[in-house]
Amino acid sequence: MSKVLVTGADGFIGSHLVESLMAAGHQVRAFCLYNSSGSWGWLDSLPESTKAELDVVLGDIRDTQCVREAVRGCDQVFHLAALIAIPYSYVATASYVDTNIHGTLNVVQAARDFGVGRVVHTSTSETYGTAQFVPITEEHPQVGQSPYAASKIGADQIALSYWRSFETPVSVLRPFNTYGPRQSARAVIPTIITQVAAGQRQIRLGALSPTRDFNFVADTCAAFQAIASCDAALGQVVNAASNFEISIGDTAALIGDVMNVQLEIVTDEQRMRPEASEVNRLFGDNTRLCQLTGWRPAYGGLPGFRRGLSQTAEWFSDPDNLVRYRPGMYSV
């Protein structure tokens, strides 16, 4: 099988993708953010036998030479490294531009120079902004309602420009709201689950009316691999969506039901986005991904969402996992 590079391998989706690729028989080079402790992020939690098979590189996606050395010798690149927390993008906007846009430029330029066979660049449904029509297809206008979304729009266009200008074999996968074990508590599902798992019944949240199209992380990883082996997806943007829409308020109620608790939701003003920056509706169309690759969400619809939430809640409820979080504490 091919040798593949996963940037952002130390993160939530990246660590799951590393596991999935290794299970499929690929040799994986994992690019993780350099830190003085030598931590591999979530990869540290993998079995020792799995870690022994990994080629781990510590570096910074913003550094051209680091990225070139990581890309060298790889057949495919899955580019996930990014700053993704929306509230922090209001605070450190320049960091998002530098990491997400310049980092993507480093990846596609290195891929071009070394003749990489495929680059799958990670986008986000946040690039669409609030839905102007549903379900949201890949032709939906892009609207940067947050600095994060704007930086990802720029990163997507850099990636696609290398296909158009140099025929660098790039595909853009646009996942909707991925959830599952290991996700940061800055995301709404872990925010709710960690508070419940810690014994709290009064749950602090931001806006409850916005809707999201949630995707279990295993489905997102399957979408990455499907796109990577699909030549028809070259130069294209492809949604990874479940085609299922649910509000934040209803999601909280469903989590309470799954975890067998009665919840009281309290609005926390510091968790509210600025009014014009809130994405009020996300509901994706996955037709293109299904038609191009045969991919189907294993956790689609309300039954699949409930099953995914149950698995996620079980993971977070393990004391060895919950101890990594600060339930109820809000930080950007």
Q: What is the pLDDT of residues 50-72, one digit of tens each?
A: 999 999 999 999 999 999 999 99
Domains and CATH numbers, the chain: 3-179+214-240 (3.40.50.720)
Q: How many CB atoms lie within 10 A of CB 88?
A: 17
Per-residue pLDDT of 239-292, as tens digits, reads 999 999 999 999 999 999 999 999 999 888 878 888 899 999 999 999 999 999
* Percentage of residues in the chain having pLDDT higher than 90: 92
| pLDDT at 1 exceeding the cut of 70 | no
Q: How much is the average pLDDT of 318-325? A: 96
Give Cβ neighbours of residue 116 (< 8 Å, ≥ 6 apart). 71, 74, 75, 76, 77, 110, 168, 169
Helix axes 248-258, 188-197, angle to 10 degrees: 30
Across residues 304-328, what is the average pLDDT?
Answer: 96
Q: What is the pLDDT of residue 291?
A: 98
pTM flag (> 0.95): yes
Instruction: Kindly state the percentage of the chain with pLDDT values over 70.
Output: 100
